[in-house]
Amino acid sequence: MKAAVIVFPGSNCDRDCKVAIERSTGAAVEMVWHAETELPKGLDLIVLPGGFSYGDYLRCGAMAALSPIMGEVKVAAGRGVATIGICNGFQVLCEAQMLPGALLRNEALKYVCKTVELEITNAQTRFTAGYAGRRQVAMTVGNGEGNFFTDPATLARLEGEGQVVFRYVDNPNGSTAAIAGIVNDAGNVLGLMPHPDRAFEAELGSADGAILFQSALASA
Amino acid sequence: MKATVHVFLKPGVLDVQGKAVEQALHGLGWPDVAHVRVGRTIEFELAAKDAATAEAEVKAMCDKLLANTVIESYRVEVA
């Protein structure tokens, strides 16, 4: 199994993602600089990590969405490669129009950093299949602009098609319909604000994030 | 030509910064201030044969990068 973590200038969870994927799945993880124009061959998983790519200039994720490597990420995702955007990575996926919606400033204007309980809204996705019968998981969030927004028509489509994957039990940032994570209509691109990469061993307070990486690779 | 682009959150999108600024202005003794919106202005120069061409170019730039039309609307001035 082979995974790639994309590194943008200002990413700060790239190494966390590498260690989390390696320890929870045993996959080989390559770090890919944003200026590259080719992805490693034979990838089973691509992860866009958290951080502050390009210093959040213009809008969170806006500049990173135009990085040279993103063209390749789009092609790979179009071929069905499992792709996960975590936190800033979720913002990048929205800005790159690989996922619908956008992330706004948190409703209370505060950076939120804490453990959150998440409802698994759709347990049938390739990213959540490994949670078996579980309906709730715990991960941490750390974001200032994690307030997921989408228009009512898109929201109805997301809900109707089972594209809402995770929902906050106690909405920390004002997200529309308490949405914490969504998948694209093909089901192979996941964006979520909570950090599975900070919840992959019990010592971190939760090991629930490990199952997400395991599921993503088990379905590859 | 000089282009000025004003980008604001769309009317239906909650502008929490605007709301916070409005509350601060109320606290400073301007209780009548209402509907504060905080946006951003982007200025630049570009070469174009006329204003209409420039405006079309700038609008394309807005749709591709300068604004996120999922949440933002923009207004373009060229001179």
Please name the helix (run of DSSP H) or strand (run of DSSP E) that holds residue A28, with its range, or none.
Answer: strand A28-33
Provide the angle, in degrees to the nearest 10, between the axes of the packed helices A208-218 and A14-25.
Answer: 70
**CA–CA distance, A132 with B64 (Å, rounded to integer):** 41
Give the pLDDT band (50/70/90) at residue A152.
very high
Share of chain B above pLDDT 90, in %: 96
Q: B16 and A58 in contact by Cβ < 8 A?
A: no
Q: Which residues of B touch A150 (CB under 8 A)?
A: 70
Beta-carbon contacts of residue A35 (< 8 Å; ≥ 6 apart): A67, A68, A69
Cβ burial, residue A156 (10 Å; 0-12/13-18/19+): exposed
Residue of A93, A98, A150, A151 to mutate, testing the B interface (most B Cβ within 10 Å of its Cβ): A151
Across the interface, of A104, A108, A109, the residue whose CB is closest to B71 is A104
Residue A11 bridge partners (DSSP) = A51
Q: Residues A13, A17, A87, A94: which is the catalytic one?
A: A87
Q: Check whether A43 has a pLDDT greater than 90.
A: yes
Residue of B42, B70, B73, B74 to mutate, testing the A interface (most A Cβ within 10 Å of its Cβ): B70
CATH number at residue B60: 3.30.1280.10
Structure tokens at A56: 């959040």
Averaged pLDDT, A205-215: 97
pLDDT at A75: 98
Helices vs strands, H then E, count in chain A: 5, 11
CA dihedral A14, A108, B41, B25 (to 10 degrees): -150
Q: How many domains does chain B have?
A: 1
Amino acid sitting at position A188: N
Domain boundaries, chain A: 2-218
- The alpha-carbon gap from B70 to the nearest alpha carbon of chain A, in Å, equals 6
**CA–CA distance, A32 with A36 (Å, rounded to integer):** 7
Which residue carries 């994309």 as its tokens? A6
Contact between residue A54 and residue A46 where contact means Cβ atoms under 8 Å apart: no
Structure tokens at A38: 């080719």
Give the pLDDT band (50/70/90) at residue A219.
confident
Give the pLDDT band (50/70/90) at residue A47.
very high
Closest CA to A89 of A198, A12, A174: A12
Closest CA to A150 of A127, A175, A167: A175
Q: Which residues of B touch A62 (CB under 8 A)?
A: 65, 68
pLDDT digits 0-9 by tens, A157-184: 999 999 999 999 999 999 999 999 999 9
For chain A, the maximum distance between any two Cα atoms, rounded to a whole number of angstroms, is 43
Q: Is the dihedral of CA A58, A60, A66, A69 positive or negative?
A: positive
Q: What's the predicted TM-score (pTM) here?
A: 0.94
Across the interface, of B13, B20, B65, the residue whose CB is closest to A149 is B13
pLDDT at A220: 80
pLDDT digits 0-9 by tens, A77-102: 999 999 999 999 999 999 999 999 99
- The alpha-carbon gap from B34 to the nearest alpha carbon of chain A, in Å, equals 19
The boundaries of the domain holding residue B13 are 2-78
Contact between residue A153 and residue A163 where contact means Cβ atoms under 8 Å apart: no
Q: How far is CA A67 from the centre of its chain?
A: 18
pLDDT at B49: 92
A195 counts as catalytic? yes
Contact between residue B1 and residue B47 where contact means Cβ atoms under 8 Å apart: yes
Q: A102 and B68 in contact by Cβ < 8 A?
A: yes
Q: A102 and B70 in contact by Cβ < 8 A?
A: yes
Averaged pLDDT, A57-66: 96
Q: To which CATH superfamily is domain A2-218 assigned?
A: Class I glutamine amidotransferase (GATase) domain (3.40.50.880)
Averaged pLDDT, A137-160: 97
**CA–CA distance, B65 with B5 (Å, rounded to integer):** 12
Averaged pLDDT, B21-38: 96
pLDDT at B15: 93
Q: Check whether B29 has a pLDDT greater than 90.
A: yes
What mean pLDDT, rounded, does chain A reach? 97
Q: Check whether B12 has a pLDDT greater than 90.
A: no
A34 counts as catalytic? no
Averaged pLDDT, A19-25: 98
Give the pLDDT band (50/70/90) at residue A12.
very high
